[in-house]
Amino acid sequence: MLLLGCAHGSTSAPPSHGVVVTMTRLTVKPTPDNNPGARWDQGRQESNDDAGCGLLAALDVFAPGVGTVASAVCTFSASSSDGGQYKAEDPDLFVAFEAGPTSYTSPVIVDRPSHDLRYSLFIPMPALREHGLRVAVYDLDGEDKRQSTLIADREFTAAQLDGKIELRGEALGEPSLEVLRLEVSDPPRPQHVTRTMPVDKGLVAVDELEIPAGMLVEIRASGS
């Protein structure tokens, strides 16, 4: 079986018709409002793979596509790159990107006050010019976005989205945020990727094709 994938923002639009915004680092204070007497969560949720996957499944309801990366993110959220210990009272962080009525949300990383999971989003320039971009950091308190606590947010115009951006809580007047780092770049040009796979093996893993959220993907299959 031959699988052909095509990713593009538009059939004819050049990169100047949009930008890719990538989250590269998110760190919040150890406690809300940097208050030693407070804590982010009440420790109701277990700090394990199942909890991370459950949160991602819930998030997939309002962020289509999150389920496709659930396995990788659950593994990420259950392993510490800096040797720190996970605590159920630490926040379950995610970032929302909103341009007018359209919004995308990064996967939830559970029980971590800091992580460097990269999440990329393509935003068409017409949407940026008309609505700008709101970036908001949340702590997920339940199994639904409506049960989230806003940590910090910032609105950008199209002209402000350029190069590397570092948002610090002190400058924003948001005592709970340490830093949020973003990178703004041109989107990838349209590309075609071809993969061959067996059809008699049930579920088959396909080599990863990294595509920013918000971009169009066309998949064609042929063979027998």
Q: Which CATH superfamily is domain 10-182 in?
A: C2 domain (2.60.40.150)
Model pLDDT, residue 206 = 67
Model pLDDT, residue 193 = 75
- How many angstroms separate the CA atoms of 201 and 2, rounded? 14
Structure tokens at 115: 């992580």
Model pLDDT, residue 46 = 43
Q: Is 111 left (phi over 0), alpha (psi -120 to 50) or beta?
A: left
DSSP 189-220: PPEEEEEE--SSSSS---------BT-EEEEE
Q: Tell me if 1 sits within 8 A of 220, measured CB to CB.
A: no
Distances (CA, A) of 55 to 74, 134, 191: 9, 23, 33
Model pLDDT, residue 212 = 80
- Compute the Cα dihedral for 110, 115, 116, 121 and give only its sign: positive
Model pLDDT, residue 81 = 47
Residue spans of alpha helices (H) in the chain = 49-59, 70-77, 125-131, 169-172
Indicate the SS3 state at residue 61: coil
Q: Where are the domains of the chain?
A: 10-182
Model pLDDT, residue 142 = 75
Model pLDDT, residue 24 = 93
Q: Tell me if 129 sits within 8 A of 150, measured CB to CB.
A: no
- How many angstroms separate the CA atoms of 81 and 75, rounded? 11
Q: Is 101 exposed, middle or buried (0-12, 13-18, 19+ CB in 10 A)?
A: exposed
pLDDT one digit per residue (tens) for the chain, 224 residues: 444 444 443 344 444 588 999 999 999 998 898 788 888 887 655 444 444 444 444 444 333 443 333 434 444 443 444 445 677 888 999 999 999 888 889 988 888 899 888 889 899 889 899 999 999 999 988 777 778 889 999 999 999 988 999 999 988 899 999 999 999 998 877 777 777 777 777 776 666 667 788 777 777 777 76
- How many angstroms separate the CA atoms of 111 and 129, rounded? 36
Model pLDDT, residue 153 = 94
Model pLDDT, residue 85 = 64
Q: Tell me if 73 sits within 8 A of 57, measured CB to CB.
A: no
Model pLDDT, residue 57 = 41
**Sheet hosting strand 102-105, strand order edge to edge:** 102-105, 93-99, 133-140, 148-156
